[in-house]
Structures are given as C-alpha cells and as structure tokens.
Amino acid sequence: MIFFLDNNLSPHIPEALRILGENAIHLQDKFKPDTNDIEWLPFIAKNDMALITLDLRITKIPLEVNLLKKYNIKAFF
C-alpha cells in the first residue's frame, strides 16, 4: 500500500515512513500545494493509495464525500 499524505501534514513524514520501509508520498511530490482536493482524490484512487489527512472538512463537503465513496478511497483522519 502507498500512503498519500495531505498537504496539512509535514512533507517530512513520508520521508520518515520510507525509512521505516513504508511506501509514502506527500501531496507536494505530485501536485502544487494549493491544488484543490477534488483534483488529487481521483489520483489516489487510480494509484491504489491510502489517504492520510488531518482535514476533516473532506468528510463534510458533498463533492469530496462523493469522490471518497465513488472511488472507495481508504482514508485515515
């Protein structure tokens, strides 16, 4: 499994996870920091990644909730 860390987490965390043997990337490794969630959520699904985020707003914005459900995105808050 590849962990995709949202921009609200330090870009150093994926580095630490890789040292521990985990496969992890940060949003800024693939997207601009201000990229809208609806642009990168499908990327997570297409690449079979799991989201790690502190952004609980994702669970309250209907379009983003629909994307999480549509793509069956695994997410850790």
| pLDDT tens-place string over residues 33-74 | 999 999 999 999 999 999 999 999 999 999 999 999 999 999
Predicted local distance difference test score (pLDDT) of residue 69? 96
**Count of structural domains within the chain:** 1
Predicted local distance difference test score (pLDDT) of residue 10? 97
Domain of residue 33 covers 2-76
We report the CATH number of the domain holding residue 50 as: 3.40.50
Q: State the amino acid at position 58 in one-letter form.
A: I
Predicted local distance difference test score (pLDDT) of residue 56? 95
Q: State the burial class of residue 13 (Cβ atoms within 10 Å of its Cβ: 0-12, 13-18, 19+).
A: middle
Predicted local distance difference test score (pLDDT) of residue 34? 94
Contact by Cβ (8 Å): 77, 59: yes
